[in-house]
Amino acid sequence: MKYGSQSEVGRIKSILIKHPRDAYKSPENIDSQWPDLNYTAAPDYEKALADYEKFEDLIKKITSDIHYLPQNENAGLDSVYTHDPVVITDHGAILCNMGKAARSGEPSATGDYLDKSGVPILGEINGEGRLEGGDIVWLDQKTLVVGQGYRTNADGIDQLRKLTGEFVEDFIVVPLPHWHGPDECLHLMSFISPIDYDLAVVYSRLMPVPFRQYLLNRGIKLIEVPDDEYDSMACNILAVAPRQCVMLAGNPKTKALLEAESVEVWQFDGAEICLKGAGGPTCLTRPIWRE
C-alpha cells in the first residue's frame, strides 16, 4: 500500500474508513453504548447504514482505493470515526493514545490493520501522553499544527514532536478553549477545515487570536462559518482535493460561501452518523495517501 498524508487538502488516492455495520454492529449494541459515549441520542441503525452508503458513494468519486477497518471487540461506536486513532505521515503511521477513555482500544486495532496492509508504524504515543487525530492539522508538508486541550495533552504533544522532528520544520501548538467542558469533543479541527493551501473554513469565535493571525499572515483566506450553522457541523469539512470537498447537508450559508470561492461541494445527510456522535466527514475518514 502506498502511504503518505502530510496534507489536509491534497487529492486523496487511498483512504481508510469503517462502515457503521462494523462499528455499530447492531441496534442493541448502540443502545448499550451511546449514553456513556456522550452521544446526543441513539443513532438509528438502518438509517445510519443507508446514509453511510451515500457518503461512501461520494468517496468513490475521488478514489477506488478504499480500505475498510474491520470489526474489533475492543472498539465501540466511535470507531466509525477513523480519523482520530492514527496519524499518517510520509514515514509511516503514528498511533495515538486517546483522550476519550472509551476509545482506548482503537489505536492498536487500526495499527494492526495498517501494519498488515503494508503501512509501517513509525511510533506511538504512550504513557500519560494523550493525542487524538482531530487535534492535528497539516498546513503544508512541513508545517504541523497541534491543538492542546482535553483530548490532547502536553506529554502527547512532546512525544509527537520527537517522532516528527526529522521531517517537520514548523511545529505549532495551539491552546484550545474550555468551550462546553471536558465531556464535549472539541478538537482543533472543530474550528478549522483547510479547503486549499490558501483557503480554510473556520469558526473564529473559538480560535486563539495568535493562531488566527498566523493563518492570515500565511496568506490563507478564512471563510467564516455563521453562528447558526456551527452546531450543524458546517466547520467539519473533508477536502478530497484542492477546492473539492464533502460536507454535511443543511448548511446552505457555508456552502454558498464555499462556492463563491470556486469550491466544488458535495453533501450528504449526517444526522445519524455525524451529528449524534459529534463527528463530521473529516472524522469519518483517515486518508492514507494524498498527492
CB atoms under 10 Å from CB of 32, counted, come to: 14
Domains of the chain, first to last: 12-290 (3.75.10.10)
User: What element of type H or E holds 19?
Assistant: none
pLDDT for 247: 98
Grid coordinates given for 209: 487570536
Rounded-to-integer distance, Cα 155 and Cα 11, Å: 32
Predicted local confidence at residue 183, as pLDDT: 79
Q: Which amino acid makes up residue 60?
A: K
Give dist(CA 159, CA 86) in Å, integer. 14
Length of the chain: 291
In this prediction, residues 8-31 reach a mean pLDDT of 98
Mean pLDDT of the chain: 97
Q: Read off the pLDDT of residues 174-189 as tens digits, 9 standing for 90 and up.
A: 999 998 888 788 999 9
pLDDT one-digit tens code per residue, 99-109: 999 999 999 99
Structure-block grid coordinates of residue 162: 520527537
pLDDT tens, position by position, 181-229: 887 889 999 999 999 999 999 999 999 999 999 999 999 999 999 999 9
Residue 130 has a pLDDT of 98
Using a pLDDT cut of 90, give the percent of the chain over it.
97
**pLDDT tens digits for 33-57?**
999 999 999 999 999 999 999 999 9
pLDDT recorded at residue 126: 97
Asked if residue 68 has pLDDT above 90, the reply is yes
pLDDT tens readout for residues 108-163: 999 999 999 999 999 999 999 999 999 999 999 999 999 999 999 999 999 999 99
**Residue 186's closest CA among 96, 283, 251, 89?**
283
Q: Looking at residue 243, what is its pLDDT?
A: 98
Contact between 137 and 189 under an 8 Å Cβ cutoff? The reply is yes
Three-state DSSP state, 12: strand
Q: Work out the average pLDDT over 280-287.
A: 97
Q: Is the pLDDT of residue 242 over 90?
A: yes
> What's the pLDDT at 178?
93
